[in-house]
Structure 1
Amino acid sequence: MDSPPEKIVCLVPSITELLFELHLDQQIAGRTKYCILPSDKITDVPVIGGTKYVDLNAIKSINPDLIIANKEENTKDIVVALRKSYRVYVSDVSSQTEALEMINDVATLCNCEQKGKELVKEIDLSFKFIKSLINPVRVCYFIWRKPYMVAAKDTYINSMLELAGFENCFDYLNRYPEIELKDLMTINPDHIFLSSEPFPFSMKHFKEFQEVCPNATITIVDGQMFSWYGSRLKKFSKYINDLYSLLKI
């Protein structure tokens, strides 16, 4: 890209939040309905669809010079269709290391390299303040209900669990496998994490897990903290340390 983009359409909620962190408010010209943060600024940005479906006519009316997508969030068909007419950057993030690389990539594309480097440095430093766990803590991280799905290896969520010092009971499986609740009886985790998104788990779901795994502690965890890569990483170490205190570990 010869010149910095003047109109950006972002199809990734966590990266939309990142763009605001990089002070690109004036360049953000379109977003998905799931791009909801920062709440005090996002409402002024036009919605062009969701992460799996976009309104091509709405994007055409914006005529962006950069569209930001993600390999996991958005479909291949969407990316292929958009690339016929627009410059599209597709991120692929499955670890905190790749998240930091993505921040630098986006900052470079948007001509704010220094802000990107400063943010990466701040995040990298914050990770050093995550408390070390003395004993292994085995967890299961649920992202969906009926079918029950967990985050396993080769996922960004698993990478963040590892960064926090947790052992993922399903790290022998790939990506987001479907499981049966009865599997928990054999695995016998110390903690069961029910994510606040994409499925909105709440306390009313505790009983079904407690029935098959009575010795595990069940906790609702902030899905954004574990799955939103970008500027939200600044808050991860404090969130995890607070979670340790809540779990008394």
Structure 2
Amino acid sequence: MPRLPQRIVCLTTETVEVLYAIGEEDRIAGISGYTVHPPRARKEKPKVFAFTSGDINKILAVQPDLVLSFSNLQADIACELIKAGVLVHAFNQRSVDDILAMIETVGRLVGAEAKALELVTGLEELIKGTQAVAAALPRRPKVYFEEWDDPPISGIRWVSEMIGIAGGDDIFSEAATRQSARERIIADPLEIARRAPDIIIGSWCGKKFRPEKVAARQGWADVPAIAGGQLHEIKSAVILNPGPVAIREGLPALARLIQSWAASA
């Protein structure tokens, strides 16, 4: 199929993950230096860009016939590539359904729709199974997901949705649909304490979660999650990448924490 792209550059990890998952990794000519899934991609593929910065000439040097980018954060590099005559497809997945749609679209772009749909079906089955278990829980915990600590930033939309799928209630669900992290900053950290989460989950992008620092925050001593020792970490590389891994690994991790809380409550 000569019209299909043969040399794809992926500027984020999730499209790399999808192409490997559907057996089309040979089409990848370059990746972002922040690629983490699958780990073998970092050894097998040239790193041609960071996330929002880099040298466009490194991308052009691998002669891509398609570049896959993500969101407004990469709008500038997408614009430069388009000016250079490169075909660019910009994804902007923000919800669980968006992630599934992205997988299907990547499959169509490379002529592997059946494999992509098979991947999506497996993830949908995982979602339905998780929902069924959650429906049987005796009660739902209030969950605070912290994407960053200083200033505190609440969880993005797909994380909030997965908390609900797993049987919990995101205490800042009203903020989850806001696109940028800046819009999800919690101006008054005591508002978190006032909402009394039963579980606190940290996923500080780029650094290790420090539960002892959270527990020591002024005015937080009576927060149920702190009193009950329910402070946990889910690695950002797992849950904050809007690709298959978020559903395949992030959702079960959320479900385990919520089910454990329910069993001990």
**What TM-score comes out, normalization by structure 1 length?**
0.88
1:130-189 deviations in whole A, cap 9, x for unaligned?
A: 12133121111111121221125xx22222222222211112335332123222231111
Between the two proteins, the alignment pairs up a number of residues equal to 246
Identify the residue that residue 239 of structure 1 maps to in structure 2. 253
Query: Does 2:161 match 1:159?
Result: yes
Q: How far off is 1:209 after superposition?
A: 4.3
Identify the residue that residue 64 of structure 2 maps to in structure 1. 64
Check conservation: 1:7, 1:66, Cα contact below 8 A. Answer: yes
In 1, the alpha carbon distance for the partners of 2:128 and 2:62 equals 42
In 1, the alpha carbon distance for the partners of 2:251 and 2:49 equals 33
* Candidates 202, 206, 216, aligned match of 1:194: 202
Give matches, 1:1-249, under 5 Å: 3-71=3-71, 74-84=73-83, 85-130=85-130, 131-132=133-134, 133-151=137-155, 155-173=157-175, 175=178, 176=181, 177-179=184-186, 180-209=188-217, 212-214=220-222, 215-216=224-225, 217-232=230-245, 233-249=247-263
Superposition CA RMSD, Å:
2.3
Check conservation: 1:144, 1:199, Cα contact below 8 A. Answer: no
**What TM-score comes out, normalization by structure 2 length?**
0.83
In 1, the alpha carbon distance for the partners of 2:6 and 2:242 equals 24
Check conservation: 2:14, 2:242, Cα contact below 8 A. Answer: yes
Of Structure 1 and Structure 2, the greater helix share is in: 2
Q: How far off is 1:194 after superposition?
A: 0.6
Q: How far off is 1:35 after superposition?
A: 0.4
Q: Bigger CA drift: 82-91 or 233-242?
A: 233-242
Check conservation: 1:184, 1:213, Cα contact below 8 A. Answer: no
In 1, the alpha carbon distance for the partners of 2:119 and 2:45 equals 23
Check conservation: 1:160, 1:226, Cα contact below 8 A. Answer: no
Q: How far off is 1:199 after superposition?
A: 4.4
1:21-76 deviations in whole A, cap 9, x for unaligned?
A: 1112211111111102212342121111211113201011111011111115x332
User: Where does the alignment leave 5 or more consecutive residues of structure 1 unmatched?
Assistant: none
Q: Mark the CA change 1:236 to 1:149 in structure 2 (over 3 Å): closer, same or farther.
A: closer
In 2, the alpha carbon distance for the partners of 1:33 and 1:247 equals 37
Check conservation: 2:31, 2:47, Cα contact below 8 A. Answer: yes
1:69-108 deviations in whole A, cap 9, x for unaligned?
A: 1115x33212211222211111121211111111110000
Q: How far off is 1:245 after superposition?
A: 4.5
Check conservation: 2:70, 2:90, Cα contact below 8 A. Answer: yes
Q: Bigger CA drift: 204-213 or 14-23?
A: 204-213
In 2, the alpha carbon distance for the partners of 1:150 and 1:198 equals 16
In 1, the alpha carbon distance for the partners of 2:191 and 2:252 equals 32
Q: How far off is 1:229 after superposition?
A: 2.8
Q: How far off is 1:218 after superposition?
A: 1.4
Q: Percent identity over the alignment?
A: 23
Q: Bigger CA drift: 201-210 or 221-230?
A: 201-210
Q: How far off is 1:204 after superposition?
A: 4.6
